[in-house]
Amino acid sequence: MTRSEVHQQKLRQLAGFEISGSFENNLTRMTCLVGELLAAGRVSLMLLDAGPDQGARLKLAAVCGELPEAAWKEELVPGQGIAGQVLASGNSIRISSIVRSVWKQHARHAADPGSFLACPVILEGRPAGVLNISQPSSRKQFSAVDQANAEFAGLLIGRALEVGRLSRMLDSRFAQMAFTLEGSNDAISVISMSTHEPDKVAKMLARGFYRELRHCGFTPNQVIHAAGEIISELTRSLNRHKKRLGSD
């Protein structure tokens, strides 16, 4: 199979990608497809996240290749570092050699002499993540064609995430109930909010959870106990995720 045929095959796979199974696994699969599309040794996907009492942050969501464990703990604000600037501007960046560029001080792997690509992942018409691509194989640096393919891949990944989130929210009766209680019947607007203002959607779901349990006759203390069970399950899931990262 020629390189052109591989390009076409991987683009078709991204264009037809369907979210199934765990969300994290889907992100990894799409990230690795980008690595195969661009013949790159390392591809990482960062997505916007929001924590308590802080604004949106870019956090590592999936990687194909090797990255230090510390990379999973990093959080970038829009405009910070290469990825943060790509997110803020909505424009991709192609670097022939990171060590000989003005971006060296912002690079996580400044000692890596290879070429580098960073392009936005577009959701609901706005940047909501960044693809970082490095270590081109069989060539010294990424080309303008590689950059165009990476930008297209960012659009396809964004579309796959939009469709996957919409499908899963529509499948969730609890989510439908919570949005109805909040007076948000437009599923598309909810998807847009979940992408760019995820904390607001989380609050809507939390209020829906509380109201539904109270409606069913549960006391406030019983609701608090149920919330504690959710937190315990979240803690167990996070611990399992950390163990998987440690074994990779």
Give the whole-angstrom CA distance, residue 8 versus residue 145.
13
Confidence of residue 164 (pLDDT cuts 50, 70, 90): confident
Q: Is 68 helix (H, G, I), strand (E, B) or coil?
A: coil
Alpha helices for 51-143 (secondary structure H) = 81-89
pLDDT at position 36 over 80: yes
Confidence of residue 136 (pLDDT cuts 50, 70, 90): very high
Angle at 195 between CA 194 and CA 198, to 5 degrees: 45
Task: Report the mean per-residue pLDDT for the chain.
Answer: 80
> In the prediction, which pLDDT does 186 show?
56
> Quick one: what percent of the chain has pLDDT higher than 70?
72
pLDDT digits (tens, 9 = 90+) for 59-104: 999 999 988 888 888 888 888 888 999 999 999 999 887 766 666 6
- Give every CB contact of residue 185 below 8 A, 6+ residues apart in sequence: 179
pLDDT digits (tens, 9 = 90+) for 173-228: 666 666 666 665 555 555 556 656 667 777 777 777 777 777 666 667 777 877 78
pLDDT at position 24 over 80: yes
> In the prediction, which pLDDT does 86 show?
94
> In the prediction, which pLDDT does 113 show?
58
> In the prediction, which pLDDT does 177 show?
63
pLDDT at position 231 over 70: yes
Q: Is 118 helix (H, G, I), strand (E, B) or coil?
A: strand
Q: Which of 184, 146, 181, 160 is nearest to 37 (CA)?
A: 146
Give the highest mean pLDDT range of 6-20, 92-106, 140-154: 140-154
Higher pLDDT, 73 or 112: 73
CB 75 within 8 A of CB 57: yes
List the beta strands (DSSP E) in the chain.
40-50, 56-64, 75-76, 93-95, 116-123, 126-136
pLDDT at position 134 over 60: yes
Residue ranges of domains in the chain, CATH in brackets: 3-167 (3.30.450.40), 173-247 (no CATH)
Residue 216 burial by Cβ neighbours in a 10 Å radius (0-12, 13-18, 19+)? exposed
